Structure 1
Amino acid sequence: MGVRVGVVVCVTSFLLGALFTHWIADSLTLWKTPVTDEHLWTAASYYSILANGPVEILYFLSAVVVLGGTTILWSLRDGEAENLMFDGGSIFLFGVTILMYLNSVLPKIFDTFASLPSHQLKDPFPRALRGATLELASNNLICSVALTGVLALQAGRFWAESTDSDDLEVDDADELKGRKSRAKTPELRAN
């Protein structure tokens, strides 16, 4: 149990960290007002670098995603109520992230940002790219929140299971005390 949870937490944390690297671009479009053409060109240039980067990075990220998804699914095999609740929620959030990334984020990066028109930072930003840039930042934020939910569910699972094991230890200790006191009582009566 501990190794599986550890793998899920490590994979999710790694993917969350990978999404946080997009903060360079996303912070300019989500959290700055007003969103200027310079902000949009900076974000678009960042995504253009990603679109034209080495394909091995995608292979590595895909392997990490498969490892995480497989580990969460493997945990469901136990069939315990805690696993169904926490791992079911984790699978849902992990799946939402994967679907959003495969259906929205990656196609937008590769289709829209693979080749940008030559520009200066002060040039007017094309209206067609504006919506794609803002939507990409929003999708990255949604994926980050979903993966944070996976971490919260796994922490909840750990807490619930550790509380159960603490209760079992207390029950075992109380039972042992009860046996010792019952064992001493006949000796006192015999004397």
Structure 2
Amino acid sequence: MDTGGGGRQSHRRQKGGAGTGPSPVNRGKPGSKHHLICDGNGTPIYVLTSGANVPDISRALDLLDCYPPIAGRPGRPRRRFDVLLADKGYSSEAFRQACRERGIEPIIAKPKTPNIKGLGKLRYVVEQTFALLHQFRRIAVRWERRLDIHDSLVSLACAMICWRCLIKWTR
């Protein structure tokens, strides 16, 4: 059987794998981006992985629709939260309307307008959660080609962050 090219395989594997796309920073390498929902204490609730060139707004509805029920109080778990804080990357009238249809009040600054007073302090919680998530080298630099392996490592990292928060709160 001739492989065509002096012993080389006739096909090449695609760089990166699923959930990657061209990096906006380094055009030569594929990259990934994490989209995250967390609570007011910085505990990660749901994380999605997409290509580095995917806009935030395109995965926003997936974040709203896919996260698990909120447990804690007796009775049936809630499926929605009351208020959504997001940065200007999620600013879209269609997204605001989709939030309202789901019973969520969006607080999102509009582009080219002054920031909402105090929103930066609240957004700091999300940025801190990203920093906690990316302290794990295997998450910050994606080496896995398979998306399912990377997502399982992200889930494990989120579980470790939740465990650390639980230990901190019980002291």
Report the TM-score when normalising by structure 2. Answer: 0.26
The structure carrying a bigger strand percent of its residues is: 2
The structure carrying a bigger helix percent of its residues is: 1
Higher relative contact order (CA 8 A, sep 6+): 1
